Amino acid sequence: MRMLGKILMAIRDSGFEISAMQMFNMDRANVEEFYEVYKGVVSEYNEMVTEIYSGPCVALEILQTNPAKTFRELCGPADPEIARHLRPGTLRAVFGKSKIQNAVHCTDLPEDGLLEVQYFFKILDN
């Protein structure tokens, strides 16, 4: 949480608009449901789940006001060490600590973005 303000400023300064933001304390079942697509695919699945439910997380709805760059590109590679070498200006390169604590989650597929926003702002918020 110490880097939240800096991450939010970096997102805004990169030409994106944050249209919704809310902090959640998720339980393990919700995190497992949210990360279900990674189960059996990503070897760090259990560590990812544990990391998210171990403390508060902040969900954002991001609007793209800069069509030249996608939010996925701003986030960079999932592993911050790789990001520092290949994409040093990305959020994960600057703020990430490890592949598990990589500062930000963003959807891999553009069509999943709406589903993830709905999950946090419609399902969990009720």
Tokens coding 16: 């994106």
Say how far apart CA 21 and CA 10 lie, in whole Å: 15
Residues 6+ apart with CB under 8 A from 59: 20, 21, 22, 23, 24, 117, 120, 121, 124
Residues in the chain, total = 126
Give the active site residues. Answer: 105
